[in-house]
Structure 1
Amino acid sequence: MCADTADKTAPDYRDTLFLPQTGFPMRAGLPKREPEWLARWERIGVYNRLRETAEGRPPFVLHDGPPYANGHLHIGHALNKTLKDFVVRSQQMLGHDSRYVPGWDCHGLPIEWKIEEQYRARGRDKDEVPVNEFRAECRKFAEGWVDVQREEFKRLGVTGNWEDPYLTMNFDAEAVIAAEFMKFVMNGSLYRGSKPVMWSVVEKTALAEAEVEYHDHQSHTIWVKFPVVRAPAGEAYWPVEEDPEKEDASRRAVAALKAHVVIWTTTPWTIPQNRAVCFNPSVSYGLYKVTQAPEGNWAATGDVLFLADALAEDVMTKAKVEAHERLRDVTAEELSGMVLAHPLRGVEDGRGEWDYDVPVLPGDHVTDDAGTGFVHTAPSHGADDYEVGRRHGLPMTYNVLEDGSYRPDLPLFGGAVIFDQKGKEKDANKRVIDKLAEVGAMLARGRVKHSYPHSWRSKAPLIFRNTPQWFAAIDVALDDGMDEHGATIRERALKSIDTLVEFTPKSGRNRLHSMIEARPDWVLSRQRAWGVPLTCFMRETGPGEVELLRNAQVNARIEAAFREEGADAWFNDDAHERFLTGIEGVTPSDWTKVTDILDVWFDSGSTHAFALRDRPDGIWPASLYLEGTDQHRGWFHSSLLQGCGTRGRAPYEGVLTHGFTLDEKGMKMSKSIGNTVAPEDIIRQYGADILRLWVAQTDFTADQRIGPEILKGTADSYRRLRNTLRFLIAACDGFEDAEKVAPAEMPELERFMLHRLTELDAEVRAGYGRYAFQTVFQSLFQFCTVELSSVYFDIRKDTLYCDPADSLRRRACRTVMDALFHRLVTWLAPILVFTMEEAWLERFPGEDSSVHLQDFPVTPDWREGGDLTARWERIRNARRVVTGALEIERREKRIGSSLEAAPVVHVADAELRALLEEVRFADLCITSGIVLTDAPAPEAAFTLDDVPGVAVVPAMAEGEKCARCWKVLPDVGTHAHEAVCGRCEDALA
């Protein structure tokens, strides 16, 4: 029916029709109206009311991974918080007491860096400012951004306990973080070690792996000759002197022979710290002689070189050697007995700094994929190097200072700088290379572009640097009595991953497991000011050795002070005496207060303690942690280590990860490129529900794309869904329970819609239960726009508008519409929080009314015996053939409306033909009549290839057009109201 095409000469019966009535507008106006709903939810206290009514339900707690309180939200924040909101709301509506306490990470270098920038702009020196004054400015900066981000998160429609979030800088939180750290002191896992760590010369602090990202970097690459000074006795190709008094003469003789082991490195600045050269016993090695080389070349004629066979040709090419020969095989046993000289041994003005032997040692980390097959080893500047040094007792060096410069008194290179305070390469590499060339130790040099570690904050390249740091040992049996899942942190973590945690997607399990399996001890200390300090005292017991004070009374004093004053108490002048004086068996002067700051990943890793364990609205362990895939090495990782160290297991039962957000072309977003998409811009143009709909439509487990064209498509999907809701709300106008019809009395079409609701109910609950939001939305969107708008609503418009008010068919239809409304609006409420609230209030207004106070309705088992879905699939396929034939008739202007037609439908299958007769097929096809026949279809009949056995011959309906329902029927003109059909006559009566 369409009122604007009515016959102008016929009586006007529009007032007798049940035309749709609704205040739910077609245009949503979301940017303007959403803040009104936010204010309403805050006014009626939706979150708190849910807590009151949900008492006694099974709890579900999504623990919020704390965003950093520094800057406006980006699209990754919006994706993350929206996904969390989907979880929290859907779990509540599934019947849980679903609690969500948002939180913020407030300590750490980025905030400290911002305050330092402000100082530099004002000409102030941070080191001249009292530490607690500096910390107060950091706290104020963080507070400001917490307030900004809180409002931005709320604008996304995210529900939660916004009035009482957790902050890592709250005094109670700082007290708990310190208490959690002191458990590591007490259980024996904390120790001070001197080993190489990732070091930022820009930020002047050690970094955790989670704070490191890898970018392409162009490095120097050099091939360096290490002279052979001693070898196993009995070998003829170098002289052997076992008499120590003749050692110098022996070395001169070896030098004359020019026998060298060649190493290759991309960090020339580490050569002054070399203490060994490593080889791999499983690699094939040979002794090579240069037989022809250009005059003045670094590789000279007569040089004898030890090289891996697989790399020898490449080395000779790089060294510009014109001809060479392989003298013989070199065995692992021969290499193991070899001793080299440092290439700077005896250098003028070296003051004996490098006059030591360099052993050749076996190492599995050596390969013959690149280089020479021999690896220069500086235990103070590499992870593998350190392990080799530890196994073989090699000495550590302390040549590189915190700012990336060599110690001033280092011969030849004192004061040289590796990277400056902007992360730019300075003179250290060049000075080392030049000196090696000067003493004849260089064989070749070049440049290489490779993946290199950078700070994710400053974006500057890092160095491995040996410094005394505090570590949590992850392979030491802990003295804490929590051995159910293992004795060490690593054992507990791996057991948790294997048996206690559900991962979504499953691949997250393997990623985290491999990281825990291979990780070294946890570096806990940072050389900064803004954060929770390492609340412990130590005393020296020997060179490089310390003893920790383990005293429960001292720990209790510290924790109490932090609850009262925050972590600033540690930096007060009286802290030493305050915490140690009057403790039995403790002499304050014997102990030194540690002043390092805890790794901020320990802060966030401890949040489970004060946000779950200690809060009345928390449970432990958390039901779910949800963050991006980068948090396998970040928050998931640190929380796992921390929980295993203090509670014996993972602090979570589930881990859900999402990918990163890219632009429409699949490129990483960058302000410099100009392809970023800001959440506030999307909300300003479209509204938050469109942003939330984009999240629901994506496969969040992979990387997602967003941009103007994608958002246009999302907005179009929203409009289609909104139109479905609008029709549904209008169809339910004035509906009351007294109107309801029992399913058994309904026409089969209505029974089929109830059947589909039962199926969808199971799909929706299962989908939300496994966090498959894309699956949930796509199922509901397909149902709304195809099964409802294009089929059911289209078919039943005539019934809703024209049937008598008390007709069984109309009442049955409205009963189904009411059931559809209650389910669709609640099922979609976790996703489209604003739109579903608007729809709910359109039917159920009231100050205390809200769809977000509802659960998903209990859906009866409306499924019928037999395969009703397959039965209606056959009916709908036959309908497609009819509508396809009529579409051609409309296009050719042979008919204006499908109601002018009464096609002949040839159905070969008797069962299908009987089925179509049973369901009043003409009504389903929106025609005034249909003739079903088993006669063979004429050749010109319309068919569809995928619906065999059904053919349609269009025909005009016989009779006159009803002025009320517009069907063309033979009985029009035979009733009291001459212009209407029999059904409409009854309705008018």
Structure 2
Amino acid sequence: MTDTAEKQDYSSTLYLPQTEFPMRAGLPQKEPEMVARWQEMGLYKRLRASAAGREKFVLHDGPPYANGNIHIGHALNKILKDVITRSFQMRGYDANYVPGWDCHGLPIEWKIEEENYRAKGKEKPDLKQPSAMIEFRKECRAYAEKWIGVQSGEFKRLGIEGDFDNPYTTMNFHAEARIAGELLKFATSGQLYRGSKPVMWSVVERTALAEAEVEYHEVESDTIWVKFPVQHVDREREKACISQYFDFVQMNSELAASERATAEAAAKIDGASIVIWTTTPWTIPGNRAISFSSRIEYGLYEVVSAVNDYGPQPGEKLVLAETLHRDCASKAKIELRPIRKVFSDELATIICAHPLEALGYTFPVPLLDGDHVTDDAGTGFVHTAPSHGREDFDAWMDNVRALEARGISTKIPFTVGDDGYYTDEAPGFGPSAEGGAARVMDDNGKKGDANKRVIEALIAANHLFARGRIKHDYPHSWRSKKPVIFRNTPQWFVYMDRDLGDGSTLRSRALKAIDETRFVPAMGQNRLRGMIEQRPDWVLSRQRAWGVPICVFADKDGNVLVDDEVNARILEAFEKEGADAWFAPGAKERFLGDAHNPDIWNQVMDILDVWFDSGCTHAFTLEDRPDLKWPADVYLEGSDQHRGWFHSSLLESCGTRGRAPYNAVITHGFTMAEDGRKMSKSLGNQVFPQDVMKESGADILRLWVMTTDYWEDQRLGKSIIQTNIDAYRKLRNTLRWMLGTLAHDKGEEIAYADMPELEKLMLHRLAELDKVVREGYDAFDFKKITRSLIDFSNIELSAFYFDVRKDALYCDAPSSLRRRASLAVIRKLFDCLVTWMAPMLPFTTEEAWLSRNPSADSVHLEQFSEIPAEWLNPALDEKWGKIRQVRTVVTGALEIERKDKRIGSSLEAAPVVHVGDPALFQALEGQDFAEICITSDITVVADEGPADAFRLPEVGKVSVEPKLAEGRKCARSWRITKDVGSDPDYPEVSARDAAALRELAALR
């Protein structure tokens, strides 16, 4: 070829890719423009209109809290929800997403007090005054409204599509009326009752406090170790445990039969004491149990010597955690001799006497297995006073049914009053005691004499093991800066085990509903079931100001007024005025009317727990909106919501409707830093979605969500973001190449029967992928879909099909069936890939779709393509599997030639391929194997090949001899062929290219 011929530019005669779809995405700039476009075109309403009449699919949004910017957990959660609703919308459903917000509760109340009062040096108003209460609630409402607006914008920036113009909120007047109505259903059906539980209580301020109102300061406290005498043990269980222990001892040592008998006799727990440790001696009068852990190993020990003024003496037997007995011995200044192990089966049967039995504490003290017990410090046993601690209360309530079955009273005492003094339910320390009532704390927050008097009583009873002082963090009120105490106070509960009139209970209904619900992942079912099986009665009340009130009237004994007319007046007022109506002047008389004496009925001023609010969202959202339906198809939240929203929604719905408000529950884990540690401000390892969107774009964040095992905890950081950026670029380049190639597409349809085998293979792959994608969306397995699409794009398309077909697409004549069929297939590939990915990458797919279809409205108004059944062709897939096996040996051989610089491009090669396997050789018959291998020529021989030929161990009986192509290089296609110059009109190109040039010239 002459230099002139080589320099002639044939690019204008090639069908090279042409597109304005840029390689660099520029997502941070483009995405906000798309959000604005969707808003302007009314995409949400267009979606609803296009889906009118279809079967509804409803994912009910678990409401985030309206009190700050969104964090990475919000982003993960909302992206997952958006992908689900979009995927069902594009598969023939009316999938309406209605976002919601939780607006009531302490965090907002706390912020108002902090920003509007403490920061300004103002006193919080007296909320017992109706006008002050209503004004304070208005401030809370305005605060929540502000953050709903902020979060809405942030969610939309993530690409979330939904009814943001008409969301649901728990503070909407209609919602507050419906929440009140749901509460009244529990009240009128007899499921609501007044009981008690411990709360943090400020003696100084005479009020209950929530955790957010508490700060921790270091204090020095009395600490005591106390002996609880063993009163009863199951003798058969004790005998079996002793035998089990000494069988082990005898197996591992020389223990004579006579020695064993003596040791077994001494190993009985008769006369022993269980030792507990506490930093609150004043709670001992409230003790009702001792908690242990079946995960801890315990031992029975005998005191062999003692140097102390009080405490254990030689000959006493004690039960302690094995890892802590030496430390305990040091505290009591004693020496201990181990006798034997004490097993958890044995501990569970033990009943102790109270150490202050002589003062009137004559009730049994059982041992309870508790998850909260550790052997980090103390004795391995936890003194359990259900009046004075959350874990103590939970441990007690978790065992109520079992304790009642054993004949043990489960009444929780009120040992300390709101003024910090002991009551008469603390014998020996209350008002009737000699010297009057002891006091835990005075009005100035100073320590009273309770600890001193309790310790003295324990010494007098010979049950104090040891005492000391300890520095530790202790809760204080942020207002008074004074310590708080835990004390039992009246609260409102819903029964879990009361017969509901049909033989069922709230617990049994909830358990049945769990069995009828689909859980993704499946383990969520057992988790929720375990919680429902063990949970105590449902506590509804909070002593707060901002929320829906427990709008009932009760007499002095806690009996609830049941009157339909009273309830109707309450609900009508709430619907018109919101829950503020309950606190308005004259509300009591207004609602009671003339039929009830206001002196008999007390207006309950407690606020409903916000979990009850959110547990009712199914009622005022799913049931009341005609664009939704009840029950929801799916609830999706973080795994912590087994204890939260899934849980409260289940109980609320089962209590009022007899079934769950959802058909399926999906859970996701939490996002950790990329080193696996929890994200925290102090560690500086937080990732903010706003930063990711600003730097890389929302689609990168969405791709990360799609590629994670979201059911487990995920990790996120700079390197993980970069990995997703790299994966995104490859996907984008695949779309870009298809768009560029389809610039030459005339939209011609090619009959399936007329298509070349390679195109039929790609359609087969599409049919397979269609099944993977649809099943993946049904299973909510987005990682499987994403992985399949990425692999298909990178391996099947970019590295194989596109590579093989580029020569035909760029160089073939306009009339070439091969070229036209390939364009038709790429058109199908593009349509399928873009619509399949649209739920996951809404911005990128919209950009690509509009680049391909400038007159279209949005890819999100499209449906997934229907795939003809004839495209599925397993036999063809099997055949091409063999062809590609041989191809891997060829490409492996050529790679070595390139590496050793014997060739620069595979088009310089014309290898000889030896195929000794008849099945592989048969698969190659009739194929243009040179095109498949992207070489200028190729020779396939049916033999084993020479010994020095290139081979791959994984492909048997195939070898390759690298050869250089013979002929001249075509100036248009760059293939080296012997027919270059065979057409005198086009002397610089091959015969194929000459024919294409002649056809192109004729078209012009």
Q: CA deviation at 1:735?
A: 2.1
**TM-score (structure 1 length as normaliser):** 0.85
Q: CA deviation at 1:970?
A: 0.8
Q: Residue 206 of structure 1 contacts residue 526 of structure 1 at CA under 8 Å; is this kept in 2?
A: no
Q: Which amino acid aligns with 1:90?
A: S
Correspondence 1:153 to 2:163: no
Correspondence 1:851 to 2:859: yes
Correspondence 1:757 to 2:763: no
Q: Residue 636 of structure 2 contacts residue 665 of structure 2 at CA under 8 Å; is this kept in 1?
A: yes
Correspondence 1:516 to 2:516: no
1:930–1:369 Cα change, 3 Å: closer
Counterpart CA distance in 1 for 2:419 and 2:987 is 99
2:675 alignment partner in structure 1: 665
1:241 alignment partner in structure 2: none
Q: Find the residue that maps to 2:95 and give its secondary structure.
A: strand
Deviations 1:111-163 (A, max 9, x none): 00111112122222224351111111111111111100000000000010110
1:320 alignment partner in structure 2: 333
Of 116, 120, 123, the residue aligned with 2:121 is: 123
Deviations 1:17-72 (A, max 9, x none): 11111111101110001111111111111221121121221110000000000111
Q: CA deviation at 1:642?
A: 0.5
Q: CA deviation at 1:968?
A: 0.9
Of 895, 899, 904, the residue aligned with 1:896 is: 904
Q: Residue 915 of structure 2 contacts residue 942 of structure 2 at CA under 8 Å; is this kept in 1?
A: yes
Counterpart CA distance in 2 for 1:741 and 1:284 is 76
1:956–1:520 Cα change, 3 Å: same
Counterpart CA distance in 1 for 2:880 and 2:118 is 74
1:276–1:784 Cα change, 3 Å: closer
Counterpart CA distance in 1 for 2:667 and 2:921 is 51
Q: Which amino acid aligns with 1:416?
A: M
Q: Find the residue that maps to 1:885 and give its secondary structure.
A: helix
2:10 alignment partner in structure 1: 13
2:994 alignment partner in structure 1: 985
Counterpart CA distance in 2 for 1:468 and 1:443 is 34
Structure 1 residues 104-253: aligned runs within 5 Å: 104-118=101-115, 119-128=117-126, 130-196=132-198, 205=208, 222-225=224-227
Of 430, 441, 452, the residue aligned with 1:416 is: 441
1:497 alignment partner in structure 2: 514
Counterpart CA distance in 1 for 2:360 and 2:660 is 48
Structure 1 residues 443-454: aligned runs within 5 Å: 443-445=465-467
Of 58, 78, 83, the residue aligned with 2:80 is: 83
Q: Find the residue that maps to 2:869 and give its secondary structure.
A: coil
2:642 alignment partner in structure 1: 632
Q: CA deviation at 1:751?
A: 0.6
1:675–1:338 Cα change, 3 Å: closer
Q: Find the residue that maps to 2:581 and give its secondary structure.
A: helix
Q: CA deviation at 1:636?
A: 0.3
2:713 alignment partner in structure 1: 703
Of 737, 740, 760, the residue aligned with 1:727 is: 737
1:575 alignment partner in structure 2: 587
Correspondence 1:910 to 2:922: no
1:352 alignment partner in structure 2: none
Q: CA deviation at 1:550?
A: 0.5
Q: Which sections of structure 1, spanning at least 5 residues, go unmatched? A: 232-258, 346-354
Structure 1 residues 422-433: aligned runs within 5 Å: none
Q: CA deviation at 1:465?
A: 3.3
Counterpart CA distance in 2 for 1:881 and 1:325 is 72
Q: CA deviation at 1:203?
A: 12
Correspondence 1:359 to 2:363: yes
Q: Residue 194 of structure 1 contacts residue 469 of structure 1 at CA under 8 Å; is this kept in 2?
A: yes
Q: CA deviation at 1:338?
A: 8.6
1:756–1:276 Cα change, 3 Å: closer
Q: CA deviation at 1:536?
A: 0.2
Q: What is the number of equivalent residue pairs in this alignment?
A: 917
Q: Residue 261 of structure 1 contacts residue 307 of structure 1 at CA under 8 Å; is this kept in 2?
A: yes
1:518–1:45 Cα change, 3 Å: same
Correspondence 1:469 to 2:478: no
1:140–1:953 Cα change, 3 Å: same
Q: Residue 289 of structure 1 contacts residue 325 of structure 1 at CA under 8 Å; is this kept in 2?
A: yes
Q: CA deviation at 1:358?
A: 3.1
Q: Residue 439 of structure 2 contacts residue 450 of structure 2 at CA under 8 Å; is this kept in 1?
A: no
1:300–1:725 Cα change, 3 Å: closer
Deviations 1:935-962 (A, max 9, x none): 3322222121211211111111111111
Q: Find the residue that maps to 1:705 and give its secondary structure.
A: strand
2:245 alignment partner in structure 1: none
1:53–1:309 Cα change, 3 Å: closer
Of 370, 381, 385, the residue aligned with 1:378 is: 385
Q: Find the residue that maps to 1:804 and give its secondary structure.
A: coil
2:892 alignment partner in structure 1: 884
Q: CA deviation at 1:396?
A: 4.7
Structure 1 residues 799-878: aligned runs within 5 Å: 799-846=808-855, 849-863=857-871, 867-878=875-886
Of 647, 651, 654, the residue aligned with 1:641 is: 651
Q: Residue 232 of structure 2 contacts residue 350 of structure 2 at CA under 8 Å; is this kept in 1?
A: no
Q: Residue 379 of structure 1 contacts residue 389 of structure 1 at CA under 8 Å; is this kept in 2?
A: no
Counterpart CA distance in 2 for 1:934 and 1:450 is 84
**Greater CA drift, 431-440 or 691-700:** 431-440
Q: Residue 513 of structure 2 contacts residue 660 of structure 2 at CA under 8 Å; is this kept in 1?
A: yes
Of 638, 644, 663, the residue aligned with 1:653 is: 663
Structure 1 residues 916-931: aligned runs within 5 Å: 916-931=924-939
Q: Residue 338 of structure 1 contacts residue 359 of structure 1 at CA under 8 Å; is this kept in 2?
A: no
Q: Find the residue that maps to 1:669 and give its secondary structure.
A: coil
1:226–1:793 Cα change, 3 Å: closer
Counterpart CA distance in 2 for 1:286 and 1:926 is 77
Q: Which amino acid aligns with 1:769?
A: D
1:255 alignment partner in structure 2: none
Deviations 1:370-397 (A, max 9, x none): 7879875535233345649975447754
Counterpart CA distance in 2 for 1:373 and 1:511 is 27
Q: Which sections of structure 2, spanning at least 5 residues, go unmatched? A: 234-270, 424-428, 999-1004
Deviations 1:565-589 (A, max 9, x none): 100000011101111114xx43333
Q: Which amino acid aligns with 2:852?
A: R
Q: Residue 420 of structure 2 contacts residue 440 of structure 2 at CA under 8 Å; is this kept in 1?
A: no
Deviations 1:657-701 (A, max 9, x none): 000000110000001111000000000000100000110111101
Q: Residue 107 of structure 1 contacts residue 600 of structure 1 at CA under 8 Å; is this kept in 2?
A: yes
1:240 alignment partner in structure 2: none
Of 554, 558, 573, the residue aligned with 1:538 is: 554
Counterpart CA distance in 2 for 1:798 and 1:107 is 65
Deviations 1:272-312 (A, max 9, x none): 423656699x9999998856322x44336468566589899
Percent identity for Structure 1 against Structure 2: 52
Q: CA deviation at 1:228?
A: 11
Deviations 1:864-913 (A, max 9, x none): 55522222122112112112211222222222221111111111123322
Q: Residue 676 of structure 2 contacts residue 715 of structure 2 at CA under 8 Å; is this kept in 1?
A: yes
Q: Residue 421 of structure 2 contacts residue 438 of structure 2 at CA under 8 Å; is this kept in 1?
A: no
1:789–1:396 Cα change, 3 Å: closer
Q: CA deviation at 1:743?
A: 1.4
Counterpart CA distance in 2 for 1:260 and 1:418 is 41
1:442 alignment partner in structure 2: 464
